[in-house]
Structure 1
Amino acid sequence: MAPVSEIHFTDYLLRGAKAAVVVAGAEATRLVSRDVVSRRDLAVTSDSQKVTLGIIAAYVVIIAILWNFPYVRWSLWPFKMLVIAFHEFGHAITAVLTGGRVKSISLDPHEGGVTHMVGGKSAITLPAGYLGSSLIGAILIFTGFNIVASKIVSIGLGVCFLLTLWWGKRDWLTIITILLAVGLLIASWFIVHAEALRFVVLFIGVMSSLYSVWDIKQCDDLILRKVNSSDASVFAKRYGGSSQCWGVIWSIISILFLAAGIIAGIAAFPQSFAQQEDDSKNFLPTR
C-alpha cells in the first residue's frame, strides 16, 4: 500500500492539474471561439500561420538529419530524454486513472525508460506510452500556433513535470531532465512577451510526435525487428495479434494525431504576430 503522504501529494498534484485546466480554459475558449466560429475553412491566410508551418517543416528536416548522423545526433539527446519522459508519463497517468499505483519512473542514459506500477488496466496503460507522447506532441504543435495558447499549455506541462518528478524522485536522470525542461520553458516566457515560448513548444511537440512514430517504425523497437520487452510485444501476448501489427496501428494513430494538431492549429489561430503579442501582454505578462 502506498504511504499516506505519497497518496496525498499525488492527489494534490492531480487537483492542481484540474485547477490549471479550469483557469486556462476560459482564455483558451475565448481564443478559439473568437476565431473558429468566424472562419469556416482551413485556408492559411496569415503570415504567422505560414511562418509556423515553415518552422514545423524545418524542424522535421533538422530533426531527421540530426537523428541519422553520427556524433551530431547527440545534440538531440536532451530532447529525446524529455519525450521519453512523456512516454513514461503516459504509462503512469493512465495507470493512476484506471485504478493503479505508480511506484517509480526512471530514465536510462541509453535513451530508455521504465515505469514501475501496480494495478491499472494494461489494455490502456501499455499503448499509453507511445500514444500518450504522440498526443502530447500534437497538443504542443496545436498550441504552438499561438503565444497565449503556448503559455496555457506550458502551465499544463509544468503540472505533468511535477508529477513525473514526484514519481521519478529517486532517479537522477529524470530529475535533471525535468528541471532542464522547466528551466527552458520559464526562460522562454521572458523573451519578447513569450514569443520564443511558442517556438520552443513547437519544437518539443514535433520532436515528441516524430519520436513516437520513428521509435515505433525503425524501432530500435517494433516493426523492423522484434524486441521481447517492447510495449507492443507485451500487448500482443495479452490481447492477441503481433507486435509488428500493433506497432503499425500505433504508428498510424500517431501520424493522425500529428496531422490533427496541425489542422486544428490552422483553424483555431489565424492571428497575426502583432495580435498574438497584444494578447500575450494581457495574459500573464512577463514584460
Structure 2
Amino acid sequence: MPPYVDGFPVQDHNFAVFARDAKESLTPNSTQRTTLIVAGVYIIAIFILWHMPYLSVIIYPFKLLTVGFHEMSHAFAGVLTCAHIHSIELDPDEGGATRMSGGIPWITLPAGYLGSGLIGAALIACGFDTNASKIASLVLAAFFLFTLWWARRNWLTWVLILGMSGLIVLFWFVAGGVALRYFVLFIGVMSDMYVLWDVVDDTIARKVNGSDASAFAEICGCCPSQVWGVLWLIIAFAFFAAGVVVGLAAFKESSAQQAEDAKHFLPVPGSSGAMQLLPANLPSMALCAAATIAVLLPRWRLV
C-alpha cells in the first residue's frame, strides 16, 4: 500500500500541495488587483479610442510603437538566422517594412506578430512591479538604440523614439517610479492588443495579399493564410495570458514594499535612496529581465 500523509496517498497529497501553492501564487493581492483593474481600463479605453475618428490620435504614437516592435521582431529573427538587415521603416499610415536578404523566411515571417506579442507579454509582467518596470525601461532604451541604427534614415522613427524616451524619463520621476510602472503596463497591453487586432484584420476578417500570413502560406503551401492567422491568434492570446500569470506569480509585493524597494534601486537623482540594498524581489525581477532581454536583445551584428 502507498504511504499516506494527512490521510491522503502521497501522490494525491503532492498534487493537493501543488494545487494549493498554485492557487496562492495566482490569487491577486490588493496591489495586484489594482494593476488588473488598470489593465482592464486600458483595454476598454484602447478599444474605444481605436475606433473613434478623431480621438484615435491619442493612441496614434503607441500604434506606431507597436508597429516598431513588429518590425524589430522581424529584424532580430533575421539576425538570428544570418540575414542581412538593410533597413527598417515606419510610415504615417501605421505601416512598416523590414528589408532584409537571406535568413529563414518561415522563422522571420511569423516573428513580427509573435515577437511583438511576446514583447507585450513581458512588459505586462514587468508592469506589476516598479523595479521590474525600471529594468524593462532600460531594455527598451537598448531596443530603441538598435531601432535607430536600422531606421536611421526614417524621420518618423526618430520622432517616435525620442518622444517615447522622453515619456519614460518623465514617468521615472513621478511618484517614485509608480507612473513608470503603469506606463510600461500600458505599452504591454497596447502591444498585445495591436497584435490581436492586426492578425484578425489581416488574415481572418479579410485576406491581405501583402500580409506576413499570406507570404507564409505561399512558402508552406499547405494551408491558407486564415489558418495561420488563427494559429498565430491563439499563440498571441496565450502570450497575453502568460504575461498576466507571470506578473501575478512573480510580484507579490504591496505598493508600500515596492515603493521602499524603488528607493534603493536606480532611485530618482536627488532622492535620499541609493542602490545600497538589493530589492527583496530580485530573483523575480531577474527572471522578468531575462525574459525581456531574451525577447529584445538577441545576438546582434552590425550591418
CA RMSD in angstroms comes to 1.3
Equivalent residue, structure 2, for 1:223: 204
Equivalent residue, structure 1, for 2:219: 238
Equivalent residue, structure 1, for 2:153: 170
- Look up the equivalent residue of 2:213 and give its one-letter code: A
Greater Rg over alpha carbons, structure: 2
- Look up the equivalent residue of 1:130 and give its one-letter code: Y
Contact 1:147 1:195 in 2 (8 A): yes
Query: 1:152 Cα deviation (Å)?
Result: 0.8
Equivalent residue, structure 2, for 1:205: 188
Contact 1:232 1:243 in 2 (8 A): yes
Equivalent residue, structure 2, for 1:111: 94
Query: 1:44 Cα deviation (Å)?
Result: 2.9
Equivalent residue, structure 1, for 2:239: 257
C-alpha offsets along residues 81-109 of structure 1, whole Å, 9 cap, x if unaligned? 00000000000011011111111101010
Equivalent residue, structure 1, for 2:248: 266
Equivalent residue, structure 2, for 1:49: 32
Contact 2:63 2:194 in 1 (8 A): yes
CA distance in 1, matches of 2:75, 2:186: 24
- Look up the equivalent residue of 2:209 and give its one-letter code: N
Residue 93 of structure 2: SS of its match in structure 1?
coil
Equivalent residue, structure 2, for 1:159: 142
Residue 193 of structure 1: SS of its match in structure 2?
helix
Query: 1:284 Cα deviation (Å)?
Result: 0.7
CA distance in 2, matches of 1:125, 1:76: 27
Which of 69, 76, 84 matches 2:52?
69
- Look up the equivalent residue of 2:40 and give its one-letter code: A
C-alpha offsets along residues 176-207 of structure 1, whole Å, 9 cap, x if unaligned? 11111111111111112111101000000000
Equivalent residue, structure 2, for 1:282: 264
Identity level (%):
51
Query: 1:46 Cα deviation (Å)?
Result: 2.1
Residue 204 of structure 2: SS of its match in structure 1?
coil
CA distance in 2, matches of 1:84, 1:45: 32
Residue 176 of structure 2: SS of its match in structure 1?
coil
CA distance in 2, matches of 1:162, 1:88: 14
Contact 2:28 2:248 in 1 (8 A): no
Which of 177, 183, 187 matches 2:170?
187
- Look up the equivalent residue of 1:235 and give its one-letter code: F
CA distance in 1, matches of 2:163, 2:233: 29
CA distance in 2, matches of 1:185, 1:92: 24
> TM-score, normalised to structure 2's length?
0.80
- Look up the equivalent residue of 2:217 and give its one-letter code: A
Residue 98 of structure 2: SS of its match in structure 1?
strand
Contact 1:44 1:50 in 2 (8 A): no
Unmatched 5+ residue regions in structure 2? 1-20, 272-303
CA distance in 2, matches of 1:119, 1:159: 25
Query: 1:45 Cα deviation (Å)?
Result: 4.2
- Look up the equivalent residue of 1:228 and give its one-letter code: N
